[in-house]
Structure formats: structure tokens, C-alpha cells
Chain A
Amino acid sequence: MKKVLCVLLSILCLLTLAGCGKSGNGGNDSDGTVTVKLGGSGPLSGDAKVYGEAVRNAAQIAVDEINASDSKIKFDFRMEDDEADGEKAFTAYSTLYDWGMQVSLLTVTSGAGAAVAASYDEDKIFAITPSGSSTALVYTDSKNFRGNFQMCFTDPNQGVASADYLASYFGGYKVAVIYKSDDVYSAGVYEKFAAEAEAKGVSVVYVGAFTDDTSTDFSTQLTAAKDCNANLIYLPIYYQPASLILKQAFDMAYTPIFFGIDGMDGILTLEGFDTSLAEGVYLLTPFAADAEDDLTKNFVETYRSKFGDTPNQFAADAYDCVYAIKQALENMNYDGNMSSEELYEAMIAQFTSMTFNGLTGSNMTWAENGEVSKAPKAVIIINGVYVSAE
């Protein structure tokens, strides 16, 4: 056994070492097009696989579309698995670095992204995350990662927007909050919301948390919220646990108003979900899969025919990311003759100055610190579709 292991080990070592010296820049092709190596990592196995897959699929659609068009910029796209884990994100990043990645979609999840954000900064590789909403991906207390940008709202941004909305439209309501305390996204939004709600006079009567290990049974939290006479429940969580909360509240004949954030998007397309449960649910979202504009229609149709599912906001953000990168490269007339550092600087210059129209919003701009200017918009679900609530 030991000998077999020894032999295996030496083969493995050789294989990993062999990865060296392969990297090169994408460059000019004979037909006048330029190929850019676009990387990115996300959970493609494990619990969070659904998010990683959505991003990979949507980015692939965008890349295929661009490569099939007569665009001068072509992409060579590679997405690596990071299991939504910092350590794996780091090896995924290293793999992509060895491959010669020039521009990146950073990571899909915040936790994994925070672990590699500094590396992108050090190696001067431009990156824009479709869905890593924590601010730790773009700046920290001490440092601004100049080349890291975001396509989605930041967590604090959503917390503030939710508190604002509740304060101005649901003034006298008694609010209960149910959030996932061991999730970076949920806790991040909740923390900011709690501070803002207090400042704006939203009366929060009950706060219930749950963790990964207790994410099926919400009867306790709902009963407690009902006991406090809460008539609005704020849910800064993803749609999967939210669907359970809606069902369990319905079963106990508890009918408050539910208010979700962008993670709630996707609830209507859950296979087998009784959409009548989501009637009257408010949520903040940048993207609606049933929107009528051509861009959304085309995207949703392609996604459905290729992958069988309806795309969610993760997918839409990823699709936008690829096109935003393309726009920036076109604006600077990228011809493949730039050094990686020049490309990095040029991309930053473009992103901080350009406006972009995509699936998830129009006239988007980016601040110096990497945050996108999108304002979260509230919608309400009526007859199974999103309707603007403002």
C-alpha cells in the first residue's frame, strides 16, 4: 500500500510541476481578432453549486455569442471550481494564473472571493465579480483593491435600501427579521439593516436567526414573530430557505407581508414551488426573468434551451460582466499588444469612466472603490410576475 502511494506521489509531483512555464498571453490572431483569456472561479461542486453553475452557464452564453459574432474581441473562457471555500479559491486562482488569465470574473461567492481579492490586486489582474456582494472583495479598511469591481449590489447597500424602503412605505409596521447568521451575505445585509432601521425609526420587534445546520425548520422563528404581532417579515436570505419560510407560515395561517432582497430572486422558478405562496412578496431585484425587453428575452430563451433552467440574477449578472468587459476592451481599442500591467490600468480607467447597459440595469457606472451604481429597486409579486412597487 505504502509503495503504491509512494509511486503515486512522485507521479503527482511531476504532474504539478509540469504545469510551469506554459502561460502566455492571448494575442493577435491572423484574422485581425484578439483573444482575451477570461478566467473565474465559483462553486461547481458542493452545497453552493447552483450559484457557480448559473454564473458559468451565463458567462459561457455571453462568450459564445461574442465569439460567434463579428466582434474583434474574442474570449477564451475558463471557470474553475472553488467549492465556495477560500483555500480552494486560492488554488483555483493559481491554476488560472498559470493558464495566463488576463481578465477575470473574480469569484461567485463572497467568502471565497475575499481570500483571493488581494492576490488579484498584487498580480494586477483586472476582475469584476458578478455576485460576490461583500465589500471585502473590492476594498478593506486599509486598502482599496483598485482592479476589483462588482456587478451586483453590495451587502451594506442593500441593507440601507431595505431600511429606507421600509421606513418610507411601511411606516407603522412591526417588523420581524429572519436571517442566516452563519452566512456572509445574509449577516452582512442584516447588520447594516439593523443599524439603519434603528436610525430611521423602523420598529423591529423580533430578530430570529438560523444557521446552515438548522435551515429546515422555521416554525420557532415564525411562531415567535407571530407572538410579537409582527406584520412584516424581512428576509435577507436566499430563495431556497425563503421558500420554506413561506410554506411554513402559510401552514400556520400566519400572513404577514414578506420582504426579501435580491437573493429572493429565483423563488418563482423553483421547480415544484407553488407560486401562489409568493403572492404579495416584496423583493429588491435588479433582474426579472420575465421582463419584456429583447435583451432579457433572448438571454432567457438561450439559457433555457441550453441548460433547461430559468436563469436567476447570478446568471444575469455574469452575462452582464462579460459584456461589460467586452465593452471596456472595445473602448480602449485593445489590440493584444499591451503588457498585462497596461491592460490592467486601461481596464480600470475604462470601468471608472464608462456607462454600461445590460440585463441588470441601464446606465450603470462604477465608483473608484469598485462598487456599481445600481440602485436596488423594489418589486412586488402579483399573479406570479414581478411588478414595480414604486
Chain B
Amino acid sequence: MKTIINELLHHRNRSRMLSFALIIGSYLIIEFLMHSIRISRLFTSMLVPCCCYIILALSLNLVVGFSGELSLGHAGFMAVGAFTAIIVSGLSAKMIPDPVIRLFISVLSGSILSGLTGLLISVPVLKLSGDYLAIVTLAFGQIIKSLITNIYLGFDSNGLQLSFVTNELNLEQGKMLLSGPMGATDTAKISNFSSGALLIVITLFVIYSLIDSKYGRAIMAARDDRIAAESIGIDILRSKTLAFVASSILAGAAGALYALNYSTLQPAKFDFNTSILALVYVVFGGLGNINGTIIATTVLYVLPELLRSLQDYRMLIYAIVLIIVMQLGSSVRLKRSMEKLKNRFSKKGVIR
């Protein structure tokens, strides 16, 4: 018993426990509040997208933080997941009336397809390194967006119809699922906060299991010293592929959940800016830092909404906050004084 408690209180596990406690705790509190007092509409409307961005940022952290590869096209995976989920949900609306099961199937298929896309892309991407890798992920992100913008998909009594680049569909009493730049319209909104919270918990579980596994240690070894890792016989490519695919699956799930939270969605949503946004969340939270990512995503997601009263100066202030936090976070002087402060309060007094 004592060993179990000790194990739980061990530094590494403590931070893991904290992640789960953070999510489940906030979920319970918010659910309780929603059922007891009247919460502002703004607050409830931000819950699901916030969950989606947390999952997206966590998945990106797997690539950027743990694998050490800069990805600038993560929104592409989100897009694949999102539009797959919309199609699956739209097609199965009559067959599966139950929204919970339909949501589950849609998210699952969205993440599977996104994972397959990730697997396909990982082949060329992981052959490169550094900024060349970054630009190729950017390129794939743009390609995916551009392809989805040109898909016209609808279904009627004759079955599924697809046309590319120009809309040549002639539907008889049918429904358009994707209509080019208009994207999806009239989607049934079946996402909810509970599924979002559950998906974060699953994401955390996946990420922690991956990090603790043989592959996870291999990935981090390769990140810290590629040559040393290779020299002791670690198959870096395989481990990195695993991380990349896992990340794309999770990003796809985030996209699926996101898509089913709105009645319309346009492919243009998943542009370069969204990829950058996710990257900002990850860097703010700290590379490889799971709890930091969750908190940073929430703060940065909520911040622009709170700045609404500033009107036109809103995004300007946001930019300034971004720059200042980066300066503070990396400032050498600040770090030294923080350390001094820490040493003064801690009994041991670390000597360096």
C-alpha cells in the first residue's frame, strides 16, 4: 500500500494524476454549475471548441514537444477528421437516430481517416528534418485545404454523388454534404461537452501510454540525441512514424468533434492560421508539457473573448500579450531571479 502511494506521489506520476484530475475536476464543476445556476451563454458556447483545441494542441505537442519536429500543417488533419465526420454523420442520420452512437461512429471514422492520411504523409515528411520538414507539413496542410475546397459531394435516392472542382451534381430531392468552398451546411449539431471532456481524457491516456512505452522512450532519445540513439540500435523512423500517426488520429478526432458542434463549416477554417494557432498554444504551454498545454490553450482561447470590450484594439492587445509572455518566459534575468527566490524558500538550497 505504501509503495503504491509512494509511486503515485512520485514526481512524474503526480503530474499525470494532475492532468486527469484537472480535466475530470473541471468537468464535474462545470456540469454542476450548468445544472444548478444559469450560466452565461458565452461560457457554454466556448466549452466544446475549447475541448477541441485542447485535443489539437495536445496532439501537436506529441509531434513538436516529444518528437521534436516542427509541424505547420496540423489543421489539415483536423480538416480531414472534420469533413469525414460530417459526411459519416450526414449519411447515417437516418440509419442511426441515436446522436450519441452517431457521434461516436463519426468521430471514430474521422480519426481513422485522419490517421491514414497521417500515415501516408509521414512517409515523405519524416525523411526530412528541421525546417524542410516544417515546410512539407505546411505544404500538405495547404494541399488538403485546397482539395477539400474543391469537393462537391451529395446524396439522393440514386446514392452518393461526387464531383471535383466544379459542381456537376444533379440531385433529386437529395442533400448536399459538401459543396466546395461553402463546405458543409445544415449539419446536425451532436457534439456536447461531455463527449469533449471524455475525448480529452482518452487523448491524455493515449499520449501517456505512448510516452511510457518503449517507442515513447525511443522518440525522446532520438529527439535529444539522434546519433546516440541510432548508434544503440533504436529504429527512429518507426517510433517517429508512430508518434506522427497517433498525433494525426487525435487531431482528426478534435476536428470531428469540432465539426459536429456547428451547423456549418467551411474548409477555409482550416488554413495556415489555425495550424499556427495550435502551435502558439503548444509553445505557450511548454514543449512536452501536457498540463501546461491544457492550461495555456484554455487561457489563450478565452482571452480574445474577454477582450471584446476593447473593440478594435482586441487583436492588437492579443498580439502584445503574445510577445510579452514569450519575452518573460524566456528571459534569462527573470529565470535567474525566480531561481533565487526558489532557493531562498526551499530548505535544501541547491548549489550550482
Contacts and interface: CB of A to CB of B under 8 A. Distances in A.
Interface in B181-215: 181-182, 185-186, 189
A20 B329 contact: no
Given A2-B292, A86-B265, A91 B186 contact: no
A74 to B, nearest CB: 22
A288 interface: no
A9 B328 CA distance: 18
Interface stretch (A10-18, A256-264, A313-321, A354-362): A10-18
B306 A16 contact: yes
Given A86-B264, A98-B41, A141-B186, A181 B305 contact: no
Contacts of B39: 17, 20
Interface in A209-266: 211-213
Interface-centre pick from A20, A22, A44, A194 (highest chain B CB count, 10 A): A20
B268 A182 contact: yes
A117 interface: yes
Contact of B180 (A1, A94, A187): A187
Interface in B297-324: 298-299, 302-303, 305-306, 308, 311-312, 314-315
Nearest to B292: A2
B264 A12 contact: no
B136 to A, nearest CB: 17
Nearest to B176: A141
B269 interface: yes
Q: Is the interface of B mostly helix, strand, loop or mixed?
A: helix
Nearest to B41: A94
A2 B295 contact: yes
Contact of B40 (A12, A17, A85): A17
Interface residues of A, number: 53
A114 interface: yes
Interface in A151-187: 181-184, 187
A90 B305 CA distance: 11
B175 interface: yes
A371 interface: no
B268 A212 contact: yes
Contacts of A115: 262-265
A81 interface: yes
Contact of A95 (B42, B266, B268, B289): B42
Interface stretch (B43-51, B59-67, B238-246, B343-351): B43-51
A156 B310 CA distance: 38
A186 to B, nearest CB: 8
B323 to A, nearest CB: 15
Interface of A: 1-2, 5-6, 8-9, 12-13, 15-22, 44-46, 80-81, 85-87, 90-91, 93-95, 97-98, 111, 114-115, 117-118, 134, 136, 140-143, 181-184, 187-188, 191, 194, 211-213
Interface of B: 33, 37-46, 49, 142, 146, 149-150, 166-167, 175-176, 180-182, 185-186, 189, 262-269, 284-286, 289, 291-292, 295-296, 298-299, 302-303, 305-306, 308, 311-312, 314-315, 328-329
Given A5-B295, A115-B265, A187-B182, 14 more contacts: A2-B286, A9-B295, A19-B40, A20-B37, A44-B312, A80-B308, A86-B264, A91-B42, A91-B46, A115-B264, A118-B263, A134-B182, A181-B150, A184-B181
